[in-house]
Amino acid sequence: MTRKRVAVIFGGRSGEHEVSIVSARSVMAALDPARWEAVPIGISRSGDWLTPDETRAALESGARAFHGLGRPLLSAAEALAALASCDVAFPLVHGTFGEDGTLQGFLEMAGMPYAGAGVAASAIGMDKALMKALFREAGIPVARYSVIRSWEYTLHQNTSMALIEDAIGYPCFVKPANGGSSVGITKVRSREDLPRAFAAAFACDDKVVVEEAITGRELECSVLGNEQPEASVVGEIVPDREFYDYDSKYDPASKTELYIPAPVTRAVAEDARELALRMYRVMGCEGYARVDFFLTPGDRLIANEVNTIPGFTSISMYPKLWEASGLPYRELLTRILELAFERHARRPRP
């Protein structure tokens, strides 16, 4: 069997740069060497593209981030040549400039098969305001929310605060519309907390989502597939602090607990899997994604979000849920790449 070359693209300009590197290390170590040859292509914090040799050297040095390396995309001839030599791409750039449809659009223009959601689903998945509007239009329950632009807040600060109090109330969450890993998110308990919360969110994006705080349990489900997606068993996250923030997710000292399967009734688990598939289809996802929701005390499920490039270490929730469903990590990676080829073959060629 001839091995296929897989361009593993990771790093990037978002606040999730380091998380992306951890995901990529894990994926490259787990790919079946009999079927796949990993070609690492790193992207620095400034957006420069590294050659595979530069990327390997940085990884071997133990670097947690890429600084001062590579060249801007349009000047990165060696990195682009390495990409062109590959059969398929596995984008693992979390957050903006990678998970938001921009990298997917570039790969579409290049005519290269790639893993995961397409341009539209990626863009919607990154923009929480668009995602919630889409779910609400489809009749999928979401938390009450408002959207505020930076210019609106600057010009009409008191009006913005009054809108939040009238439409949402306290406590609530202020979060960047475009972002991930809980970067820039603040829980707000009173008007006095709002200026600091908006400053943190607007540092990440010029559009902010203000969302009611839901009292409930945090459930997650992994989905895999193109035209006929399948849902994994359902898991539960119990944060070690008030909410599931960046440190709760990635700090080695975190005492956050993961329960797989989630300790819920069979009926709730089936409802959650059905809702996960519905959210996945409504967004137009393909390949794979992790779906998150809240379970209220009355066993009502409320959609939270769809993560189109979830964390991908061997201990991340997405692969662990599939492992518990009978699909080991290495086989999961192979299936994701196979789905990339299947979608590419199905696309019409003008």
- Give how far Cα 242 sits from Cα of 234, 248, 297, Å: 22, 10, 17
To the question of whether residue 211 is assigned a binding role by annotation, the answer is yes
How are beta strands 145-149 and 36-43 bridged, if at all? Answer: unpaired
- The single residue of 26, 122, 181, 222 carrying the catalytic annotation is 181
- Give how far Cα 257 sits from Cα of 63, 222, 241, 322, Å: 28, 18, 11, 18
Q: Count other Cβ atoms within 10 Å, centred on residue 217.
A: 18
To the question of whether residue 305 is assigned a binding role by annotation, the answer is yes
To the question of whether residue 178 is assigned a binding role by annotation, the answer is no
To the question of whether residue 175 is assigned a binding role by annotation, the answer is yes
Q: Which amino acid type is present at position 56?
A: R
- The single residue of 14, 23, 222, 316 carrying the catalytic annotation is 316
To the question of whether residue 118 is assigned a binding role by annotation, the answer is no
- The single residue of 16, 99, 286, 323 carrying the catalytic annotation is 16
4: nearest Cα among 349, 247, 344, 244: 344
To the question of whether residue 242 is assigned a binding role by annotation, the answer is no
254: nearest Cα among 233, 240, 265, 275: 240
Question: Is 44 tagged catalytic?
Answer: no
To the question of whether residue 304 is assigned a binding role by annotation, the answer is yes
Angle CA 43–101–164, to nearest 5: 110
To the question of whether residue 60 is assigned a binding role by annotation, the answer is no
DSSP letter (8 states) at residue 171: S
Find out whether 238 and 263 touch, Cβ atoms under 8 Å: no
Find out whether 283 and 131 touch, Cβ atoms under 8 Å: yes
To the question of whether residue 217 is assigned a binding role by annotation, the answer is yes
| Element spanning 33, H or E | none
To the question of whether residue 182 is assigned a binding role by annotation, the answer is yes
* Three-class SS state of 231: strand
DSSP notation for 49-104: BPPHHHHHHHHHTT-SS--S-SB-GGG-HHHHHHHHT-SEEEE---STTTSSSHHH
To the question of whether residue 227 is assigned a binding role by annotation, the answer is no
Question: Is 16 tagged catalytic?
Answer: yes
To the question of whether residue 307 is assigned a binding role by annotation, the answer is yes
Question: Is 338 tagged catalytic?
Answer: no
| Element spanning 16, H or E | none
CA distance 64 to 104: 24
Task: Give the active site residues.
Answer: 16, 181, 316
Cite the annotated binding site for ATP by residue number.
Answer: 128, 173-175, 181-182, 211-218, 304-305
Cite the annotated binding site by residue number.
Answer: 128, 173-175, 181-182, 211-218, 292, 304-305, 307
Cite the annotated binding site for Mg(2+) by residue number.
Answer: 292, 305, 307
